[in-house]
């Protein structure tokens, strides 16, 4: 009958309506959740569609294929976890110990660095050499920013590089191993860590300011 909707036409309209209720960001968030909770092997269209409560076909309104979503996940990770470290490392500070406290903000504030996401992407890199290359590049960028921070305080070039690696990979190692020092333990060890990473004593004002910040960020720790 002229003008009657065919079953396929009804299906397309239904899919379009479902897609209209979705957003590209919602699919990306579902992909991030799947990556963190279950690993890259379970970042599947069907898995994400179930999380979102939509049909899998609505995925293709936003992405040509799963690889395009993978690219978005990596870009999100780089913005989320690499950008703040670089910004904090470049932030002006009167002393190197204060500068390191700026970087420490990334380790205590989940809005600046997501350890679970970082671990998930690193695990992804263990099964995909192209991803491992991207992870290595991100590590290099982070270490380079911290190295340049130390150079601003007149450390010799090689020493600045080694101190940057020690500072950065110590914390990444803590996250990777799942070490869970409580807030008070971390605050108690703040000055020794600053001394170990910089070779210089932090002032009372610097230590007190970081303690205030950390207690505000983690009030119930």
Domain ranges of the chain: 9-63, 65-217
Least confident span in 10-24, 61-75, 83-97, 131-145? 10-24
Higher pLDDT, residue 59 or 12: 59
Cβ neighbour number for residue 163 with a 10 Å cutoff? 21
CATH for 9-63, among 2.40.10, 1.10.10, 2.60.40, 3.40.50?
1.10.10
Would the pLDDT of 123 be above 70? yes
pTM confidence score = 0.85
pLDDT band at 22 (very low <50, low <70, confident <90, very high): confident
Q: What is the pLDDT of residue 21?
A: 65
Interval 201-212 mean pLDDT: 95
Q: What is the pLDDT of residue 35?
A: 96
Q: What is the pLDDT of residue 182?
A: 85
């Amino acid at each position: 009958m002229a003008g009657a909707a065919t079953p396929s036409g009804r299906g397309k309209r239904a899919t379009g309506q479902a897609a209209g209720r979705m957003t590209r960001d919602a699919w990306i968030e579902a992909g991030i959740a799947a990556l963190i909770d279950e690993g890259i092997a379970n970042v599947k269209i069907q898995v994400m569609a179930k999380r979102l409560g939509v049909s899998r076909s609505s995925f293709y309104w936003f992405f040509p294929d799963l690889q395009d979503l993978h690219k978005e996940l990596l870009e999100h990770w780089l913005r989320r976890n690499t950008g703040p470290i670089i910004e904090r490392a470049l932030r002006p500070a009167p002393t190197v110990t204060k500068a390191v406290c700026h970087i420490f903000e990334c380790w205590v504030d989940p809005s600046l660095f997501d350890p679970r996401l970082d671990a998930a992407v690193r695990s992804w890199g263990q099964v995909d050499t192209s991803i491992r290359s991207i992870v290595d590049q991100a590590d290099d960028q982070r270490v380079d920013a911290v190295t340049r921070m130390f150079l601003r305080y007149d450390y010799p070039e090689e020493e600045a590089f080694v101190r940057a690696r020690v500072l950065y990979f110590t914390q990444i190692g803590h996250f990777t191993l799942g070490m869970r020092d409580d807030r008070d333990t971390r605050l108690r060890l703040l000055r020794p860590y600053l001394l170990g990473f910089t070779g210089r004593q932090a002032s009372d004002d610097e230590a007190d300011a970081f303690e205030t910040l950390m207690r505000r960020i983690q009030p119930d720790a």
